[in-house]
């Protein structure tokens, strides 16, 4: 296999690992090496090292981040969607997505971050986290609205920010269905169905 083809294959493996959330150590898998050797008809092919794949993933991330930053730079206004949650391991996380209409009037959405946060989800910390992400992406002056669930801390955080707060319709709908099904005539029927 020539060098350009090897480089293309290494990039494809890095993309596959990143997009499919595969462990990086998969490049040490004997079966994967065998499959690629058969598919490429090159029985001398050696899989790239973990370090190579990590570097390629980092490069892919930086390239994608740069592309998204340029697109966000063109946006006149941005809406953020955010959610704080706690993992089963009791670690706090924040996910933030940006939404905007591009120059061709198409709705665009990009995940800006899923980051581990050190503080609990108090309103002050939530507000700071959202503004920190907006500053990192250089959209703090373009953000017009923040969409979150209707948790008290999120509502209080939104009040601290110079943005409109938009409660998430999906969360509201799910909550209304859950509440309406509790202690209703369907409750016993659902319990019996679960047993079946």
Helix (H/G/I), strand (E/B), else coil: 97: strand
Cα separation, 94 vs 116, in Å, equals 6
Asked whether the predicted pLDDT for residue 183 surpasses 70, the reply is no
More confident residue, 146 or 177: 146
Of 88, 68, 89, 3, the C-alpha closest to 42 is 3
Question: Domains along the chain?
Answer: 3-68 (no CATH), 77-181 (3.30.420.40)
N residues, the chain: 196
Put simply, whether the predicted model's pTM sits higher than 0.85 gets the answer: no
Grade residue 158 by pLDDT with cuts at 50, 70 and 90.
confident
Question: Which pLDDT score, from 0 to 100, does residue 13 have?
Answer: 95
Of 53, 36, 54, the C-alpha closest to 45 is 36
Q: What whole-number percentage of the chain has pLDDT above 90?
A: 54
Q: Which of 10-19, 60-69, 139-148, 182-191 has the lowest mean pLDDT?
A: 182-191
Asked whether the predicted pLDDT for residue 185 surpasses 80, the reply is no
Grade residue 27 by pLDDT with cuts at 50, 70 and 90.
very high
């Amino acid at each position: 296999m020539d060098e350009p083809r090897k480089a293309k294959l290494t990039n494809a493996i890095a993309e596959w690992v990143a997009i499919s959330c595969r462990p990086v150590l998969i490049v040490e898998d004997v079966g994967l090496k065998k499959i690629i050797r058969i598919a490429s008809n090159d029985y001398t092919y050696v899989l790239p090292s973990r370090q190579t794949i990590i570097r390629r993933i980092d490069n892919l991330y930086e390239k994608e981040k740069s592309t998204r930053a340029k697109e966000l730079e063109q946006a006149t206004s941005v809406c953020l969607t955010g959610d704080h949650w706690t993992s089963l391991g009791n670690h706090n996380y924040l996910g933030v997505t940006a939404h905007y209409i591009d120059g061709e009037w198409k709705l665009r959405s990009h995940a800006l971050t899923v980051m581990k946060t050190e503080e609990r989800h108090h309103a002050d910390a939530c507000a700071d986290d959202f503004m920190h992400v907006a500053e990192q992406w250089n959209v703090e002056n373009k953000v017009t609205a923040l969409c979150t669930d209707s948790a008290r801390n999120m509502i209080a955080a939104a009040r601290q920010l110079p943005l409109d707060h938009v409660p998430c319709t999906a969360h509201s709908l799910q909550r209304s269905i859950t509440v309406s099904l509790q202690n209703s005539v369907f409750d016993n029927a659902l319990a019996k169905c679960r047993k079946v």
